[in-house]
Amino acid sequence: MDYNPFREGLGHSHRSGPVTVVIFGVTGDLTRRKLLPALFALYRKGVSRLKVVGFARRDWGSDGLRQRADEILHATPDATDEQRAAFLQQLEYVQSSFDQAEGYRTLSELLQSGGDRLYYLSTPPQNYETIITQLGQAGLNNSSSGTVRIVVEKPFGRDLDSARALNRLLAQFFGEEQIYRIDHYLGKETVQNIMLLRFGNGIFEPLWNHRYVDHVQITVAERLGVEGRGNYYNASGALRDMVQNHMFQLLSLTTMEPPIDLNADSIRDEKVKILRSIRPIAFGDLDTYSCRGQYDSGYYDGEPVPGYLQEEGVAPDSQTETFVALKLFLDNWRWSGVPFYLRSGKRLRRKVSEIAISFRSPPLELYSNRHPSMTRNTLIIRIQPEEGITLTVNTKIPGHTTDMRPVNVDFAYGSAFGETTLEAYERLLFDALVGDSTLYTRRDEIEASWQFITRLLEGWQRSETQPQLYEPGSSGPQCARDLMAADGRRWRKL
């Protein structure tokens, strides 16, 4: 059945009043790239009671916001001018700095008409505390005429202490059921499909454990560099930017036990157990289990590109990693002894996010001595691009020969369902509006992931080893290959 927010609930008229999304930091990049297009899409699909209030410091006014939104949404495929004009009329703007009580009073007046509210924190994280406190003090954290929820963008903290502090602050003013910590990877169709693949089919689960799985590789590689986000990125690095959130979500969905049902908490109960079972990396083992890299200057697609240290906002002696590779173990019954290799980096050869599950070889090597090209069966879940699933299978080459080679059994979303997959932000915003937190991160998940990450960051800080340089357009630094080679394995080709 087609996805239809109207039918699913939000368009129903038994709920009175508008559905208002208040975006703090509406003048920022995320609003332009993701939030406004997603809200416009929801509006066109039937969430007609939608109102959007932008809250920011700049002197834009509602007309200014509408004009900018018009420019952003102009090129929306399949949207008519009338739809766009109608949507623009739903936009309002509150000009205020985040610490001015006056701004929140103006906001409160705008919200007088009642209905459901969703606050979206899309500012730099140093503003979160002020905004949350001001919302609470203005009494905007609850409403008698509808639901009130708050979406918190990443980064959610920068270590365990700051994440805990943010959780405590949120809990002062909002109930956990009102809090939506976003991780846009969970909004991707292919990520949601991991659970369905595992638990909606009978053939995978029996093999999905240490008895049959040799190892797992999770890759999130990007072509882009830090692209004008040097300031943010330099205080973050690949471990905080990608592993603590997106990659740990991929890891936990791939390895969790089946939940008892599909309720948000049942699923998150299982995911958090995985995060708690990741074996910490001891200080003395850092170089065996982790590798850091930084992209060098050079050529990318034939064009000269700056190295990370030459990027704007980056200190010339920065030790921030733009690439990270890890070898992890999950100390639980199902995965005991199975290595999980994770890598993520910027300015690499290709943009690709995938999970590759490599199964053990057959118990008796009837063929492999004679056929060195035989490979382990590998199930590859392609998160993006070329979304789909591939299983490699060794096959006899037809004819008077006993030669074999691996072939792919392939499923591609594009050819099976057409090219239209739902934008992650559209799905996630919709879920927050209807109160489904399944695809959002719970308090204990965030804290469990920071527990592991913080310890690793502290180790790196004390360590003498520095990030290794790697060439733009390569597959990362030498230490990543060494980490695998030490186990007699290789990364999948980028």
Q: Which residues bind ligand BG6 (CB under 6 A)?
A: 154, 222, 241, 353
Backbone angles phi, psi at 398, to 5 degrees: -60, 150
Rounded distance between C-alpha atoms, residue 125 and residue 321, angstroms: 20
Q: Nearer to ligand BG6 by C-beta: 154 or 442?
A: 154
Among 241, 242, 238, 246, residue whose Cα is nearest residue 319: 238
Is residue 246 flagged as an active site residue? Answer: yes
Catalytic residue among 14, 184, 210, 246: 246
Q: Nearer to ligand BG6 by C-beta: 222 or 447?
A: 222
**488 exposure class (CB count in 10 Å sphere: 0-12, 13-18, 19+):** exposed
Rounded distance between C-alpha atoms, residue 31 and residue 38, angstroms: 9
Q: Nearer to ligand BG6 by C-beta: 26 or 247?
A: 247
How many other C-beta atoms are found inside a 10 Å radius of the C-beta of residue 46?
16
Query: CA 131 → CA 41, 54, 100, 127, 399, distances in Å?
Result: 27, 14, 9, 6, 70
Rounded distance between C-alpha atoms, residue 459 and residue 148, angstroms: 41
Convert 298-310 to b/e letters by CB count within 10 Å (16 or more is b). Answer: bebeeeebbbbbe
Q: Nearer to ligand BG6 by C-beta: 31 or 353?
A: 353
Q: Nearer to ligand BG6 by C-beta: 29 or 109?
A: 29
Q: Nearer to ligand BG6 by C-beta: 222 or 426?
A: 222
How many other C-beta atoms are found inside a 10 Å radius of the C-beta of residue 464?
6
Rounded distance between C-alpha atoms, residue 429 and residue 446, angstroms: 20
Rounded distance between C-alpha atoms, residue 272 and residue 449, angstroms: 8
Q: Using CA of residue 262, residue 266, residue 269, residue 274, what is the dihedral sign?
A: negative
Q: Nearer to ligand BG6 by C-beta: 93 or 470?
A: 470
Rounded distance between C-alpha atoms, residue 339 and residue 356, angstroms: 12
* DSSP labels, 138-196: TTTT--SSS-EEEEEPSP--SSHHHHHHHHHHHHHHS-GGGEEE--GGGGSHHHHHHHH
C-alpha angle 182-345-351 in degrees, rounded to nearest 5: 85
Report the nearest approach of ligand BG6 to the CB of residue 353 (Å).
6
Report the nearest approach of ligand BG6 to the CB of residue 416 (Å).
21
Report the nearest approach of ligand BG6 to the CB of residue 481 (Å).
23
Report the nearest approach of ligand BG6 to the CB of residue 408 (Å).
23
Read off the DSSP letter of residue 16: -
C-alpha dihedral, 364 to 367 to 368 to 371, nearest 10°: 180
Report the nearest approach of ligand BG6 to the CB of residue 99 (Å).
26
CB closest to ligand BG6, residue no? 241
Please say whether the beta carbons of 255 and 334 come within 8 A.
Answer: yes
The residues pairing with 276 across neighbouring beta strands, listed in sequence order, are none
**Number of Cα atoms under 13 Å in the Cβ half of residue 246:** 26
Q: Nearer to ligand BG6 by C-beta: 174 or 425?
A: 425
> Which residues are marked as active site?
246
